[in-house]
Amino acid sequence: MARRSPAKPEDTKAAGPPEDPEGVARQILLRRLTEQPRTRAELATALAKRRVPDEVAARVLDRFGEVGLVDDAAFARAWVESRHGGRGLGRRALAHELRRKGVDNEVAQEAVAAVGDDEELAAAKSLVDRKLPGLRRLDRARAERRLMGLLGRRGFPLGLARSIVRDALRERPSDQAVDPAGERDMPLDLP
């Protein structure tokens, strides 16, 4: 008597009823939302990649929005709080990140407005204060360029960055700018 091999998963799936597109969409959304909070645009992209029909995706996303599982405004507020506090990003960089994640421009601007001028100033000063000791061997011009570049990449306005960098470098003792070429001193221990 010949043994029958167990059915392969593909065989049972093909023999079973066709999948429910709404059920598949719900599973995808729940899995994505348990990983981390996501925007509606990110979730819609995930559904499109799995070939969930557009009308089904819209219906399921609307339902998830009604029960509060998908809320771009709440996502934007949490994102701004996290990225401003953790990475010290300025308002311009925060707005750019939110738009890249698919958050509506108006919603992004509202969330970014929560970061006040004093908070942005404190974040920029903190970044400069942390970076300044590592630049002590550079001449003033090179240190200024590096600090300005750092603040620019983090989304701080040019005027604010210039003011903070100049104040920080003005407070730096002049003996810290050891080498005008910005190169490290080489030890003279020759054999």
For residue 2, name the pLDDT band (cuts at 50, 70, 90): low
* pLDDT band per the 50, 70, 90 thresholds, residue 35: confident
The answer to whether 79 and 97 are in contact (CB under 8 A) is yes
d(CA 80, CA 90): 10
Domain locations in the chain?
21-70, 71-115, 117-176
Q: How far is CA 58 from CA 55, 66, 67, 155, in A?
A: 5, 12, 14, 34
Is it the case that residue 186 has pLDDT exceeding 70? no
Asked if residue 173 has pLDDT above 50, the reply is: yes
CA distance 76 to 81: 9
Token pair of 182 as six digits: 């910005």
- Burial string for 160-178 (b: 16+ CB within 10 Å, else e) reads bbeebbeebbeebeeeebe
Please identify which residue in the block is written with the tokens 């421009």: 105
Q: Just give the CATH number of 71-115.
A: 1.10.10
Note the pLDDT of residue 179: 46
Give the per-residue pLDDT at 87. Answer: 82
Tens digit of each residue's pLDDT (9 = 90 or more) over 82-122: 888 888 889 999 999 999 999 999 999 999 998 888 999 99
The mean per-residue pLDDT over the stretch 38-45 comes to: 92
Q: Is the pLDDT of residue 123 over 70?
A: yes
> Are the beta carbons of 166 and 125 closer than 8 angstroms?
no
Residue 164 has pLDDT above 90, yes or no: yes
Q: Does the reported pTM lie above 0.75? A: no
Whole-angstrom Cα distance, residue 123 to residue 83?
11
Residue 187 has pLDDT above 50, yes or no: no
